[in-house]
Structure 1
Amino acid sequence: MVNTDTSEQLWYEKVVNASVAIGAIGYGLHIAVFYTAVSGIFKARDRAGALKWFPLLFILFSLGTINIAGSLRFNQVAFIDQRKYEGGPAAFFSAEQSNSGNVAAVATSIAMMVFADAFMIYRIHTLGKRVVITAVAAAVLVASVVMSGFHAVELINENSSSNLKYSIPYVSLATILNILITLVMAPRLLELRRQISISQDPTRAKFTNLEALVVETAFPTGLLSLIFIILYGFQKVGSLLFLPLLVQVMAIMPGLIISRMVRGYAWSNDVVGRLRNPSSSIGRTVNGDFPQDVVTLNDLGNDPKSVSNRLA
């Protein structure tokens, strides 16, 4: 991607430096989302049920922290500590992929991909109940994990770090999976949105607004993945601008979804099940008032135990 032309080298170095700065902005958003989700967990009606999501949030946040720290460290070594490296920072980035900072960044990005995509595949299965689609997505995830393992071995091996033949299949599979997840989730959520929009449930706006569609389809991850894979396919250096940000966004989206879950505004088995039941009391009103025995979608999301008691 980089040739010996000085202007090309300078452009490459500017892009790499800027990409880490953009990734740091993404990490700042990650901090905010992590705080919001954790606060929501401890404020949830069913705190015990909500706490099951805390380990995932903590793991993703920890990985995101190590990831951006590793990227910043790799940049520091290239631009400051090894400023006199023959060929400059561009040559250093190409030849020293086995640097500990870069290895930490790559390893954590792989782990974040596994946890974040596994969570999204779980959501696909929960809301769609289509074994074939779930199996295909899971197979792509397994394939990307295998390729990422080979890629990690290449990074550790200093003799091959400048010729990473597994980086393209790993990156391609990982980004294609993100796009696939969005493409699968979008029509399903649009169908659920259509079903709930005809009800009179007072909380339905929380399930049908733009925020719900964007967050629960993981649209930002899919969009960034699409932009990245197109630029990467055409071997454009500009593709690197999106990589550190994409890694953080992959962790941010599960945090946003969990935040909606604990507040009772995320699609779930309970909500979908009630929509399938024509005799459901969801959203029924009497003379414009909301009766005491009506179970709202908000209740279903917040406190499944109390809801089952009220339905019994």
Structure 2
Amino acid sequence: MSNPFAPPNESPHDLYNERTIIDGLFLGAIAYGIHLTLFIWCFYLLLQKKKSRSVYFLMLYVLLLFAMGNIGNGTNIKVGELTFVDNRNFPGGPNAFFATGGGPVGLTCNVIYIINSWFQDVFLLYRFWMFFARYGWYWTVLPNLVFLASFTLSLLLIIMLCVPGITLWSTISINLAIPYWAISIALNVIITTCIAIRVLYMRHQMRQARVGSGSEYVTYTSMTVESAALYTVNGLIFLVSYAVNSPIQNLALPVLGQSQSISPLLIILRVLQGRAWSSTT
């Protein structure tokens, strides 16, 4: 039986797309709550540490991640308000307004999350260096080149998004965004694979030396956290749905923005608790 109160002139697909937009706002808010919890936890532990240059650096890094997470979540919610409240009678309905990008507020949200991804990738590169620096600088060449490509494409994407009339769903934006996110995810996959191999190799060495099983260091949890696989999986879900223009992208994108901060904070938390892998591991 049809709903007599359903919005006129909107297909079931239109309604489904609008539902995913709203649901994405809630999922993004939940992810922000996780980010907030990790921020408080990490900052509290940092305050307990003896003050040093590295501690101050981590404080600044954590604060920057939290600031960008706040701006990203706040502007994302505001875009939802603009879509379903302020512009509810926009020609074509909420879907049509959402497709415009949300104006300056939506632009701010997208730009902040892109910049946030730089911070995450640089942190992962630093962790990669900690694992492999002892083997020579050339080990870091490929990850650095991949990051440089990702950074260049994302910078071009930001420039294009600032052009009036260009949104995240414009053809030129899609042509930049897909390779940008693909390369960014590839960077995470490369680092994930290398760190996982390193961890498994260290477990083998510990067993050979009969100094323990090493299981406390090489659980799947530690490998997942250390390699920031959370962002990789989330990024793949978004990338595929974005490439095929599926409404699922509306669910994945807000979470992706926050996971860019959650992944580094999980690693920092393990560092502060003395459970993270280091260059001496």
Structure 1 residues 95-151: Cα deviation after superposition (integer angstroms, max 9, x where no partner): 2x2612211111111111001110001111110235445222222222222222222
Partner of 2:233: 223
Q: 1:140 aligns with which of 125, 137, 146?
A: 146
Note the C-alpha offset of 1:178. 2.8
Alignment of 1:32-71 (within 5 A): 32-44=37-49, 46-48=50-52, 49-71=54-76
Partner of 1:115: 119
Partner of 1:89: 94
Q: 2:263 aligns with which of 253, 271, 291?
A: 253
Structure 1 residues 9-29: Cα deviation after superposition (integer angstroms, max 9, x where no partner): 222211122112111101100
Structure 1 residues 155-207: Cα deviation after superposition (integer angstroms, max 9, x where no partner): 22223336241333333333333333322322122222333456677995542
Q: CA RMSD in A?
A: 2.4
Identity %: 26
Change (3 A) 1:10 1:50: same
Q: What is the identity, as a one-letter code, of the residue corresponding to 2:250?
A: L
Alpha-carbon separation, structure 1, partners of 2:203 and 2:257: 29
Change (3 A) 1:234 1:183: farther
Q: Is the 8 Å Cα contact of residues 189 and 213 (structure 1) preserved in structure 2?
A: yes
Partner of 1:282: none
Partner of 1:152: 158
TM-score, L = length of structure 2: 0.85
Change (3 A) 1:254 1:201: farther
Note the C-alpha offset of 1:67. 0.5
Structure 1 stretches of 5 or more lacking a match?
A: 273-312
Alpha-carbon separation, structure 2, partners of 1:198 and 1:65: 48
Q: What is the identity, as a one-letter code, of the residue corresponding to 2:28?
A: G
Note the C-alpha offset of 1:210. 3.6
Query: What is the count of residue pairs matched by the alignment?
Result: 266
Alpha-carbon separation, structure 1, partners of 2:138 and 2:250: 34
Which structure: larger Rg?
A: 1
Q: What is the identity, as a one-letter code, of the residue corresponding to 1:177?
A: L
Partner of 1:175: 185
Change (3 A) 1:214 1:168: closer
Q: Is the 8 Å Cα contact of residues 157 and 177 (structure 2) preserved in structure 1?
A: yes
Q: Is the 8 Å Cα contact of residues 151 and 164 (structure 1) preserved in structure 2?
A: no
Change (3 A) 1:17 1:118: same
Q: Is the 8 Å Cα contact of residues 67 and 109 (structure 1) preserved in structure 2?
A: yes
Partner of 1:7: 12
Higher RCO (Cα < 8 Å, 6 or more apart): 2
Change (3 A) 1:21 1:40: same
Q: Is the 8 Å Cα contact of residues 181 and 235 (structure 2) preserved in structure 1?
A: no
Alpha-carbon separation, structure 1, partners of 2:37 and 2:145: 32
Structure 1 residues 62-90: Cα deviation after superposition (integer angstroms, max 9, x where no partner): 10110011111111101100000000111
Note the C-alpha offset of 1:52. 2.7
Partner of 2:31: 26
Alpha-carbon separation, structure 2, partners of 1:240 and 1:64: 18
Q: What is the identity, as a one-letter code, of the residue corresponding to 2:217?
A: F
Q: 1:105 aligns with which of 104, 109, 121?
A: 109
Q: What is the identity, as a one-letter code, of the residue corresponding to 2:123?
A: F
Structure 1 residues 222-262: Cα deviation after superposition (integer angstroms, max 9, x where no partner): 22222333333343221331121122112111111111112
Change (3 A) 1:168 1:236: same
Q: Is the 8 Å Cα contact of residues 112 and 251 (structure 1) preserved in structure 2?
A: yes
Alpha-carbon separation, structure 2, partners of 1:43 and 1:70: 33
Structure 1 residues 251-297: Cα deviation after superposition (integer angstroms, max 9, x where no partner): 1111111111122211112x33xxxxxxxxxxxxxxxxxxxxxxxxx
